[in-house]
Structure 1
Amino acid sequence: MRLSIATCTLCATLATPILAQDSAKVAPKVLIITMFGQEAKPWLENEAFSIKTEVPGLNPEYPTVECSDAGLCLMTTAMGFSNAASSVAAVALSPKFDLSQSYVVIAGIGGVDPKDGTLGSAHWAKYVVDADLNHRIDSSEVPEDWSADTIGLGAEIPGEKPKWGAGTEVFALNPDLVDFAYDVTKDVPLVDGETAVAYRAHYDQAAAQGKPFVSICDTLSSDTYWHGSKIAESKEEWVALLTDGKANYCTTQMEDNASLTALKRASEAGLLDFDRVALLRTASNFDRQGHDQSAVESLKAKSGGFPLATENAYRVAKAYAEVILSNWGEWKAAPQVK
């Protein structure tokens, strides 16, 4: 006789995620970091998370870390620098976790430069740059000989390197791990949609007009959800300035320098290995208007990119994580990237 979960007390108990005991440390093999509920949704719908761990310091909307028996774990920070830094720090410093051998994947959505990507495309970052640690003068008051309204902290003119800073302006991730992540995910089938196909007609750039794809290019963090070609062009110059031309930002988001700051501090404390951190952003929107739009029209447009980005972030990050999980005996000691 087959019993339904509704009529089987034991089955119902087994179907409910187990709350991890305080005495047992959770040691994720791969920890996925998402920023809000819709990014987490595909993971929650497709993965068998059987263990929940409550962590003091997490955002009240996302108070637990979910883990599977296979060692895949998921946490959600809530949006913005403050939520990201505090939530990641809460998990990284928690005595409930052992992250010393964990591989961490930040997997979220963001804007994309139409020269480098399109709606639904997925991009692994080697450099992560903060867009906001600088001086800014209102555009109506900028000196006539300035080329931008933003200058580096302590600098005299645009284009001059900052003379002081916070130390969190630029993060460089393990380039070999990034290359590996790209190699094992470049052929992952990505979803596309009719609304996104139609919306791409606003853009002249070849990358923007095409179907979603996977690539390597860098990401730019800002608590301000900015939009438009003039700001974007100034941000391109800012990224080039801070990285001596090494970085090309293609995605924009609101958390990553904050999350990486928390992970870096934990690494310096010997709690995790920063060389095991990877970062993936998928394109839910373009970061500037198309040839026949104003910036405001573009910002408010329904491009169709959001559902593509959330699904493709899951697909690509999952494919990368699966390589590690399936070969944990080799990956446990060190990244197998050569």
Structure 2
Amino acid sequence: MKYPTFLKAAGLPVAATMLAALTTGCVSMNNTSGNEGRPVKAMVISMFAPESEPWVKKMNLTEEIRVPGLSPDYPVVRCNASDVCNVVTGMGHANAAATMMALIQSGKFDLSKTYFLIAGIAGIDPNQGTLGSAAWARFMVDYGIAWEIDAREMPKDWEYGYFGIFTKGPNEKPKPDYRTEVFELNTALMQKALELSKNVKLDDSNEAKAFRAKYPSAPANQPPKVIQCDTATSGTWFAGNVLGKRAQDWVKLMTDGKGTYCTTQQEDNATFEVLKRGATMGRLDINRVAVLRTGADFDRPYPGQSDVEGLVEYAAQGGFEPARWNLYHAGSPLINDIVANWSSWSAGVPR
């Protein structure tokens, strides 16, 4: 998860306070088990308060349900009368996994027919999108499960020092021994989400317009739109042409050429693995998970800009505000259609 300098300087409790101030609903302490809890048609999964805020405001999520084991910064799930809810996991894979397991095991929600939307901001490849772009993913690939040697000590014919565990070099695909290296989402749901959102008007900013103009070609220098491409999960916030190229190559390698890397984030493989385990427990349907990531900053610099400047000065790109609001703009058509046509969605993705 990526957040602007004002939150970084003030500390994450400020972000939690922002979200707490948005609602004043009563806190529910119901204690149920299995699939006997509060029914949920759609659960939006955010990673920190600025991603959650548009959903809370626009969807009137005023009911608060306290769940033991959630992040201490975000201890409640917020819902509305239409059975749409939002959970905030906290940033990074450890927080995401811990929160989602606590949510599933709490017994406070009937998740058996719930659609889950993982919706967060991300870094974006200028070859695939731009600041504010909203990307629906088919594949989630873990960028961090790898061997690494210092690039200054790697073989001369290598492009980067990362390569698959128990392999001989960067071009060899590793065996999926961790079982979390790559996930493929339900294509029918992804295509439905894309169809519903493809023509929505996305937010932009003057700062983002000025910054993207420094890139010489499309789509980097064009206005944001809804796209379909895939996401890489990494606990390390990487930047630059070499590591960006590694992300492209790694996604291609791990998906047998089917995936196209475009966004980078820190949580999605962990979140999905917990949902997958919840499905094996009979708590939810793993085919009802969608992933939406929006471009808050470019993952590599414009010509003439250094990699260091591109990373350290990420907040100056102007993508943060449009990216967080475009999560709602691109994601809400799916959520609204699920609610409005529940008789069709309850049995599975409509054909």
Tell me the TM-score range normalised by the shorter chain: over 0.9
Give the TM-score taking structure 2 as reference length: 0.89
Residue in 2 that maps onto 1:68: 80
Flag structure 1 segments of 5+ consecutive residues without an equivalent. Answer: 1-13
Residues 113 and 285 in structure 2, CA contact (< 8 A), matched pair in contact too: yes
Q: Which amino acid aligns with 1:74?
A: N
Q: Is the 8 A contact 2:204 2:224 kept in 1?
A: yes
State whether structure 2 residue 16 is matched by structure 1 residue 16. no
CA distance in structure 1 between the aligned counterparts of 2:107 and 2:166, rounded to whole angstroms: 40
- In the TM superposition, residue 20 of structure 1 has moved relative to its aligned partner by 4.5
Q: Does 1:320 align with 2:334?
A: yes
Which residue pairs with 1:7 in the alignment? none
Counterparts of 1:246-285 in structure 2, within 5 Å, are 246-285=258-297
Structure 2: how far apart are the matches of 1:251 and 1:277? 18
Q: Which moved more, 1:85-94 or 1:272-281?
A: 85-94
Task: Report the CA distance between 1:292 and its aligned residue.
Answer: 2.1
- Residue 18 of structure 1 and its aligned partner are, at CA, apart by 4.6
Q: 2:196 corresponds to which residue? A: 184
Query: Displacement of 1:277 after TM fit?
Result: 0.3
SS of 2:219 mapped into structure 1: helix
Structure 2, unpaired ranges of 5+:
1-22
Is the Cα–Cα contact under 8 Å of residues 20 and 51 in structure 1 kept in the other structure?
no
**44-53 vs 266-275, greater mean Cα deviation:** 44-53
Runs of 4+ in 1 over 4 A off after TM superposition: none
Q: CA RMSD in A?
A: 1.4
Q: What TM-score do you get using the length of structure 1 for normalisation?
A: 0.93
Relative to structure 2, which stretch is displaced further, 148-157 or 271-280?
148-157
CA distance in 2, matches of 1:326, 1:40: 22
SS of the equivalent of 2:110 reads: coil
* 8 Å CA contact retained: 1:153, 1:164: no
Shift of 1:53: 1.3
Q: Which sits farther off after the overlay, 158-167 or 59-68?
A: 158-167
Show the 5 A alignment for 1:142-157: 142-157=154-169
Distance in 2 (CA, whole Å) between partners of 1:238 and 1:329 is: 40
- Cα separation, 2, equivalents of 1:61 and 1:290: 36
Q: Is the 8 A contact 2:25 2:64 kept in 1?
A: no
Equivalent pair of 2:138/2:184 in contact (CA under 8 Å): yes
Equivalent AA in structure 2 for residue 27 of structure 1: P
Secondary structure of residue in 2 paired with 1:279: strand
| Residue 25 of structure 1: aligned partner | 37
**Partner residue, 1:196:** 208
- The residue identity in structure 1 corresponding to 2:61 is F
Task: Label 1:204 to 1:48 Cα distance change in 2 as closer, same or farther (>3 A).
Answer: same
Task: Look at both structures and tell me which one has the larger radius of gyration over its CA atoms.
Answer: 1
The aligned amino acid for 2:327 is: A
Tell me if 1:235 matches 2:247: yes
What is the Cα deviation at residue 153 of structure 1? Answer: 0.7
Determine the C-alpha separation between the residues in 2 that align with 1:84 and 1:25: 22
Q: Which residue of 2 aligns with 1:222?
A: 234
Q: Which residue of 1 aligns with 2:170?
A: 158
Amino acid at match of 1:334: G
Percent of paired sites with the same residue: 41
Deviation at 1:94, TM superposition (A): 1.8
Counterpart contact for 2:125–2:300, Cα < 8 Å: yes
Shift of 1:56: 1.3
8 Å Cα contact 1:202/1:292 also seen in 2: no
Which amino acid in 1 is paired with 2:293? R
Provide the rounded CA distance (Å) in 1 between the counterparts of 2:281 and 2:74: 25
The answer (yes or no) to whether the contact 2:27–2:66 under 8 Å persists in 1 is no
Provide Cα deviations, 1:192-222, integer angstroms capped at 9, x if missing partner.
1111100012212310111110011100000
SS in 2 for 1:105: strand
Structure 2 CA distance for aligned equivalents of residues 92 and 260 of structure 1: 12
Q: Distance in 1 between matches of 2:176 and 2:271?
A: 22
